[in-house]
Amino acid sequence: MSYSLTVNGQVRHVDEDGQTPLLWVLRDTLKLPGTKYGCGIAQCGACTVHVDGQPMRSCSLALEAAAGSQIVTIEAVDGPQADAIRDAWVARDVPQCGFCQSGQIMSAVALLRSVPKPTDADIDIAMSGNICRCATYNRIRAAIHDAAGSAQS
């Protein structure tokens, strides 16, 4: 079956089984590999994308459920919060292996859009769905605070 979805601003038509996880549609069909497979069961958050502005785990979202939605991936997420987050990530040298960071950044950008000045408790709530086995959590936390400061203007 064919489904239409808007990915990073472009309307894409995808001819796949409606039960295919959005993750594999993005990675294999649309060749957007920035969104990662980490666990496949919505435990690790490496596959986080924005669906109609909300962070979602693309491994747990069926193509047929995503059809018609506006999807934004790490490759195209933009705006003042995204810029501030990326700048802070680089300035702090947050990544180690980096594999989880696409998902971390997508969650962090969504957090800042929703809560411009997050507290540590806000960060715990929004970011606890994203696993980092390199345990870069402290730098992630610090970078979110940095970005919250710089994205104010």
For residues 69 and 4, is the Cβ–Cβ distance under 8 A?
Answer: no
Query: What whole-number distance in Å separates Cα of residue 151 and Cα of residue 33?
Result: 27
The nearest distance, CB 95 to other proteins, in angstroms, is: 4
| Residue whose CB is less far from other proteins, 136 or 151 | 136
The residues in 71-130 that bind other proteins, with binding defined as CB under 8 A, are 73-75, 86, 89-90, 92-102, 105, 110-111, 114-115, 119-130
| Residue whose CB is less far from other proteins, 3 or 136 | 136
Helix, coil or strand: residue 62: strand
For residues 21 and 66, is the Cβ–Cβ distance under 8 A?
Answer: no
**Token pair in block for residue 31:** 């060749």
CA R_g for the chain: 15
Binding mask 15-54 for other proteins (x = CB under 8 A): -xx-xxx--x--xxx-x-xxxxxxxxxxxxxx-------x
The nearest distance, CB 64 to other proteins, in angstroms, is: 9
- Count the residues of the shown chain that bind other proteins, applying the rule CB under 8 A: 79
